[in-house]
Amino acid sequence: MRRVTIKDIAKIAGVSYATVSRALSGSPEISEETRIRIVEICRREGYRANTLARSLICNKTNVIGLIIPEVTNPYYAEIAFGIERSARERGYNVMLCNSGYEDAHVDELFDFLVGHQVDGIILANSRNEACDWASRYLRTIPTVLLGDAVTGGTPEADRLGTVSIDNRAGGRMGTEYLQRLGHTEILYAGVRPNSITHQLRAQGYRDAMEHAGLCAKIAENPGGSSSIEHGYELGKQLFAQTRDYTAIFAATDTLALGLMQAAEECGVSIPGELSLLGFDNISYSALPRITLSTIDQRKALLADTAVRILLDTIAQPEQQQYHKCLVPPTLIERHSCRAR
Amino acid sequence: MRRVTIKDIAKIAGVSYATVSRALSGSPEISEETRIRIVEICRREGYRANTLARSLICNKTNVIGLIIPEVTNPYYAEIAFGIERSARERGYNVMLCNSGYEDAHVDELFDFLVGHQVDGIILANSRNEACDWASRYLRTIPTVLLGDAVTGGTPEADRLGTVSIDNRAGGRMGTEYLQRLGHTEILYAGVRPNSITHQLRAQGYRDAMEHAGLCAKIAENPGGSSSIEHGYELGKQLFAQTRDYTAIFAATDTLALGLMQAAEECGVSIPGELSLLGFDNISYSALPRITLSTIDQRKALLADTAVRILLDTIAQPEQQQYHKCLVPPTLIERHSCRAR
DNA sequence: CTGTTAGCGCCTTCAA
DNA sequence: TTGAAGGCGCTAACAG
């Protein structure tokens, strides 16, 4: 199954292969007549230029690498989709890699992508360490992080292009929404203390509570991740005790879903007895029967911004643009919150 | 940001670049001493071999292309994940492409992937046409279809490697489950008449009903796709009339979700008054409050099989293996069906 | 064990 | 307007 090359075409057309190259690259220095003839031959023979060979010469692949934890995570699926879309619009293709949740894999994937000569890399990951992982390769390849910037790390890390949702603003926005609904006793649930993302969201919550002269109540997530399961466990705990709040603002949608299930099993009705607000707006939250009110991460916008910054950096690598981009979130009202 | 090449390393190490190549490729014809020295230099300088150049020579990229409609579709996200996993285990990487739902894009993507010299392509798509799309390139590149084989198409298409779930068996399995639960009046809802997949599932349903001496009732989906929205519309229609059935077997999980929402709005309780069974077992169905019983497509197994067949074909392209692989589905019991 | 050399498929000067 | 030739980074003979 030998693929047909430019030489084959040249031989058939009875021209040199430089001519074939010109015919296909849209060069002006060729007669319209021969161009048409050659293009037709290429079509007939099913010839596709070998992108590898071309990239080797041009020192440019027009491919960017994207590293996410897992496509099956609906949040990252949307991010991946948005990034592919924006990249394609700008003439780039993306090479998608799932890193799982381990450090080592991210390193391997960077190596893999660099080896494949991608023009740049987007690392989408909300762990604190992501910032360091990405900046480790900053000298080697243009990179942008889609996730929270961690300031005060290595000096390298400060130069890393970064785009994320404004988590603090989101925390504030959600809390204020609940307050507008008449809630004064609001529990912020599911914080993972060592996650910057969670810290920011919780801080936004505290801002809003303080500003309203209300008392902040925070329930941490003892589990290691913000999964539905851990939300469920947290819920079981919470709903076994008497409640001194009328609304829960969950740190993530997945956590909220777990809480929802626990609530159902413990006979506390949402939004009847208890309002529940999420954060992220993953696709799950819009589903019938769930209809979780939440803070939207605007993944399409995040993705587009990340692509734009990356391509800028690729175009002008020296200009080490100091980009820390914060995208404002948005409130999505569905049916899990109620005025009291 | 010029990347360091094998020549740079050779110069630093004071050897020829063939020696560097040998040091890295694990060739036996090199002294352990120099190997260690060279490997160390590579590490220090952050050298990665240029995969493009290597592939150009070896005429092999160890990359396979995967074309799916959209990663944001949870079904295809799982497929993509499974395929990447299996491929990686076997030393291959995957280039993921979203085709959307239009014919033209699939063609473009095949061209794109062939241009990038992928070693083979998996097309995951459940439209009838997919079979033709894939077989169009069969002469050019090893391809396997993850989706229903359409027999009686072009002779080319018959030679296309194909893996899919056994939809007919699934239709039977689901129907029998409902029967075991005591249902005798079962509606099969949401069939799209021109979809092979749907035809097979419906046929399985008919088989089981006939075998039990029961009367088959089928409600077609007037909408163009099996979306939640179309399920909802269908449900609104269905639940406005009096029902002569106690269970619905929905053609897909998404349809079932739409039906679920319509049921809720029309005040028919699931599974109280009506049992509902889905097909596909997408991640949505396992969510709290939804807990849809369904037929599992076993996406990991499908993916793994597809990869295996493709790699076999890549290894022995002449041997045009006549592969039509049918994977048996599995029943997932959750809480949307009840004995009567 | 190590170096030299000839390409892989293509693009891009430079000549003609 | 077209052809010839060099080289992108690397591997794989073939020498030494």
Cα–Cα dist B83/B93, whole Å: 9
A278 in contact with B, Cβ within 8 Å:
no
Alpha carbon of A123 to those of B70, B130, B234: distances in Å? 20, 33, 42
DSSP code of residue A267: T
B53: nearest CA partner in chain A: A56
A82 in B contact zone (CB under 8 Å): no
Among A18, A118, A129, CA closest to A62: A118
Q: Summarize pLDDT for A320-336 with one digit per residue, the tens.
A: 566 889 999 999 999 99
CA–CA separation, B89 vs B83, rounded Å?
A: 10
User: Which of A204-218, A256-270, A312-326 is predicted least confidently?
Assistant: A312-326
Exposure of B267 in the CB half-sphere (CA atoms within 13 A) = 3
Q: How many CA atoms lie within 13 A of B319 on its CB side?
A: 10
**A70 vs B: CB within 8 A:** yes
Work out how many CB contacts closer than 8 A connect A with B: 127
What is the overall mean pLDDT for chain A? 93
Structure tokens at A52: 């590898």
d(CA B61, CA B51): 8
For residue B123, give both structure tokens.
């097309």
Separation between Cα atoms, residue A28 and residue A31, nearest integer Å: 8
Is the CB of A57 within 7 Å of strand D?
Answer: yes
Closest CA to B201 of B168, B247, B161: B168
pLDDT band with cut points at 50, 70 and 90 for residue B27: confident
Rounded Cα–Cα distance for residues A160 and A324 (Å): 8
Token output for A300:
């399409």
Say if A78 is an interface residue toward chain B (CB within 8 Å): yes
State what percent of residues in chain B have pLDDT above 90.
Answer: 83
| Alpha carbon distance B236, B238 (integer Å) | 6
| Residue B322: per-residue pLDDT | 65
Mean pLDDT of B238-246: 97
Between helices B17-25 and B32-45, what is the axis angle to 10°?
90
Nearest residue on chain A to B85, alpha-carbon basis: A98
Nearest Cα residue in chain B from A231: B288
Identify the CA nearest to A259 among candidates B187, A273, B306.
A273
Strands of A161-165's sheet in order across: A93-98, A63-68, A120-124, A143-146, A161-165, A324-327
pLDDT band at A152 (very low <50, low <70, confident <90, very high): low
pLDDT above 70 coverage of chain B, percent: 98
Mutate to test the interface with A, among B48, B233, B283 (most CBs of A within 10 A): B48
Spatial strand order of the sheet with B275-280 comes to B217-220, B186-191, B247-250, B275-280, B293-296, B330-332
Q: Which range (A130-134, A185-189, A234-238, A316-320) has the least confidence?
A: A316-320
Residues of B in contact with A51 (CB under 8 A): 115-117
User: Rounded distance, CA A250 to CA A231, Å?
Assistant: 9
Check: CB of residue B126 under 8 Å from CB of residue B192: no
How far is the first Cα of chain A from the last one, in angstroms, to the nearest whole number? 70
The protein residue nearest nucleotide D9, judged by CA to C1', is B53
Specify the pLDDT at position A326.
96
For B262-283, give the DSSP string.
Answer: HHHHHT--TTTT-EEEEEE--G
Give the C-alpha distances (Å, rounded to integers) separating A9 from A35, A41, B49, B230: 12, 7, 31, 50
pLDDT tens profile B293-309: 999 999 999 999 999 99
Query: 10 Å Cβ neighbour count for A32?
Result: 7
Q: Backbone phi, then psi, for A117, in 5-degree steps? A: 60, 30
Q: Is the CB of B4 under 7 A from strand D?
A: no
Nearest by Cα to B219 from B197, B193, B194: B193
Q: Which nucleotide is nearest to A16 (CA to C1')?
A: D3
Closest residue in chain B to residue A75, using alpha carbons only: B72
pLDDT digit string, tens, across residues B87-99 = 999 999 999 999 9
Torsion of CA A284, A287, A289, B179, to 10 degrees: -100
Are B189 and B243 within 8 A, CB to CB? no
Bases of chain D below 7 A from a protein C-beta are: 1-5, 7-13
Residues facing strand C, Cβ within 7 A = A 3, 5-7, 17-18, 21-22, 24-25, 49-50, 53-54, 56-58; B 14-19, 22, 28-34, 53, 56-57, 59
pLDDT at A285 exceeding the cut of 90: yes
Helix axes A253-265, A228-240, angle to 10 degrees: 40
* Residue carrying the six token digits 């809390």: A175
Work out the average pLDDT over A164-171. Answer: 98
What are B62's two structure tokens?
């160890």
Q: Which residues pair with B325 in a beta bridge?
A: B163
Tell if A19 CB is < 7 Å from nucleic strand D: yes
d(CA B208, CA A308): 55
**A155 pLDDT band (50/70/90 cuts)?**
confident
For residue B174, give both structure tokens: 């689901």
Let me know: does A167 contact A217? Beta carbons within 8 Å. no
Q: Which among A302, A306, A298, A305 is positioned nearest to A144, based on CA atoms?
A: A306
pTM, whole model, 2 decimals?
0.95
Which residue in B48, B72, B288 is closest to A264 by CB distance? B288
A151 CB burial (10 A radius; 0-12, 13-18, 19+): exposed
Contact across the interface for B289 and A261, Cβ inside 8 Å: yes
Q: What is the token pair recorded at B145?
A: 């279809």
